[in-house]
Amino acid sequence: MPPRPFSIAVPDADLADLRERLARTRWPDPIPGTGWDYGADVGYMRELCDYWRTAYDWRKHEAALNQYPQFRCEVDGVDLHFWHVRGKGPDPVPLLLVHGWPGSIYEFHHLIGPLTDPAAHGGDAADSFDVVIPALPGYGFGGRTTDRGWGPARTADAFDHLMTGELGYARYATQGGDWGGIITARIGSAHGAHIIGCHLNFVVAPPPPTVPPEEQWAVDLRNKFQADETGYSNVHATKPMSLAIAQSDSPAGIAAWIVEKFRTWSDCGGDIESVYTKDQLITNIMFYWAPNSSAGSSRMYYESRRDNTFAGLRVDVPVAVADFPKEIYRAPRTWVEGHYNVQRWTEFPKGGHFAALEQPEALLGDIRAFFRALR
C-alpha cells in the first residue's frame, strides 16, 4: 500500500482523561531518603507528573512534531508511521534513522533540520540527507502488531522494504542505537546490497574465548549491567502483557518505568534535568501513553529471544561506531571487528545511551563525517 500522509492528532477527550488519571494517581510510600536507590524516585515522579498535568502543553509539541512530512504505509501487515523529509543539498543521501526502547522517533526530531538542510544550520549543503524515521512496529502512533514474530529480524526486513520497495531508494544509509543499532546491524547483514553504510551508537559483539587483561573492563561492565539493569528486559521478554496492562492504565506508571531508564542510562551524574527538560521527557512518554503502545513496544523483547537476530551475524558493509562513555553496553573495537567491517571508530568524552538527545551535535558531526566519505 503506498504511503499516505499522516498527522499526529490526539483527541481532546484523551488529554482530559490523562489529566484526570494523573490527578487520581495513588502513590506508594518510599523509605525516606532512598531517592532512586529502589528504582523511580517517588518525589521526583510526583513533581514530573504534576507538571505534566498542570503545565505541559501537548498541543505545542504536537504542532512541532507535525511540521515535518509524515506518513503511514502498510508493510507486512503493519501500518508503519514515519517522517520522510527530503534533503535540500545537491545530492542528498537517503538515511534511515532507527530508535529503540524506551525512546521514540522523537529522539531524532531536532536533528531533522540539520540533516536535511545543513546549509541552513551552519553546515555544508553537500552533507544533506533524505531522512526517513520510522517508529518501530507496535510503537508510537503507528499501527498495531497483531501477530507473533515482530522482533528485530522481521523489523529489519520491513524497514528495508519501506526504503526500497515503497520509497524507491536503491541504496541508503542507516543509523541507530539500542534496538535501532541491533536492527541497523541486521539490515546491513541481511540486505547489504542496499546499504551504503551503517552508523551505530550501540553495537553488540560477543567477547573472544580468551579476554586479554586490557579488555576485562568490558566484561566487568557487561556483568554489572546484567546484574543491576536487566530486570526490565526480563519482564518484557517473558511476561510483557502483565506489565502492559498496568502501563496502559496508569500514566504515572509508564512515566516511572521510562524516566528511571533515562536517568540511569544517561550521562547525567544522577541529575536527569541536567541533560533533559521536563518537556523532552514527557513528549517522549506521550509516544507510549497517547496511542497506548506499551504492549506493542515491550513485545519486541519477547520476540527477539525467538528470531535468531545474531545467528551468524556478519556486517560487511562499511560500519562506523560512535562510542559514548556511559553507554550501557560497550564492546572493545577488537570484539566488534570480528563481526563488523569497522571503517570509523569515534570515542566521545561525554554521553550515554540516548546520544541523539544527549549529545546531538557530537552525533550529528559523526554521522556527517562517516557518510561524507561514502557518498
For the stretch 105-135, pLDDT in tens is 999 999 999 999 999 999 999 999 999 999 9
Does the active-site annotation cover 353?
Answer: yes
Residue among 326, 325, 309, 317 at smallest CA distance from 344: 317
156 CB neighbour count, 10 Å cutoff: 24
Mean pLDDT of 83-98: 97
- pLDDT tens readout for residues 174-222: 999 999 999 999 999 999 999 999 999 999 999 999 999 999 999 999 9
Domain ranges for the chain: 4-372
SS (H, E, C) the chain: CCCEECCCCCCHHHHHHHHHHHHCCCCCCCCCCCCCCCCCCHHHHHHHHHHHHHCCCHHHHHHHHCCCCEEEEEECCEEEEEEEECCCCCCCEEEEEECCCCCCHHHHHHHHHHHHCHHHHCCCHHHCEEEEEECCCCCCCCCCCCCCCCCHHHHHHHHHHHHHHHCCCCCEEEEECCHHHHHHHHHHHHCHHHEEEEEECCCCCCCCCCCCHHHHHHHHHHHHHHHHHCHHHHHHHHCHHHHHHHHHHCHHHHHHHHHHHHHHHCCCCCCHHHCCCHHHHHHHHHHHHCCCCHHHHHHHHHHHCCCCCCCCCCEEEEEEEEECCCCCCCCCHHHHHCCEEEEEEEECCCCCCCHHHHCHHHHHHHHHHHHHCCC
Does the active-site annotation cover 236?
Answer: no
Which residues, other chains included, contact 315 with Cβ-Cβ below 8 Å and sequence gap of 6+? 185, 188, 189, 192, 198, 339, 340, 341
Q: Which of 127, 130, 160, 178 is catalytic?
A: 178
Beta bridge partners of 176: 98, 200
Q: Is 292:143 a contact under the CB 8 Å cutoff?
A: no
pLDDT over 80 at 308, yes or no: no
pLDDT for res 276: 98
pLDDT over 90 at 335, yes or no: yes
pLDDT for res 5: 98
pLDDT over 90 at 258, yes or no: yes
Q: Which of 301, 302, 329, 340 is catalytic?
A: 301
Residue among 311, 14, 314, 334 at smallest CA distance from 151: 311
pLDDT over 80 at 332, yes or no: yes
- pLDDT tens readout for residues 158-176: 999 999 999 999 999 999 9
Beta bridge partners of 133: 83
Query: In CATH, what number does 4-372 get?
Result: 3.40.50.1820
pLDDT over 80 at 271, yes or no: yes
Q: Which of 160, 288, 353, 366 is catalytic?
A: 353
pLDDT for res 312: 73
Q: Is 201:324 a contact under the CB 8 Å cutoff?
A: yes
pLDDT for res 309: 73
pLDDT for res 322: 98
Residue among 257, 288, 268 at smallest CA distance from 358: 268
pLDDT for res 66: 98
pLDDT for res 193: 98
Residue among 64, 363, 80, 35 at smallest CA distance from 199: 363
Average pLDDT, the chain: 96
pLDDT for res 314: 93
Residue among 60, 76, 74, 44 at smallest CA distance from 8: 60
Model pTM? 0.97
Instruction: Express as a percent the part of the chain with pLDDT over 90.
Output: 97
* Sign of the CA dihedral running 296, 297, 300, 301: negative
Residue 16: band (very low, low, confident or very high) from pLDDT cuts 50, 70, 90: very high
- 307 vs 318 pLDDT, higher one: 318
Mean pLDDT of 33-49: 98
Beta bridge partners of 322: 346
- pLDDT tens readout for residues 146-157: 999 999 999 999
pLDDT over 90 at 272, yes or no: yes
- pLDDT tens readout for residues 287-301: 999 999 999 999 999
Does the active-site annotation cover 178?
Answer: yes
- pLDDT tens readout for residues 221-255: 999 999 999 999 999 999 999 999 999 999 999 99
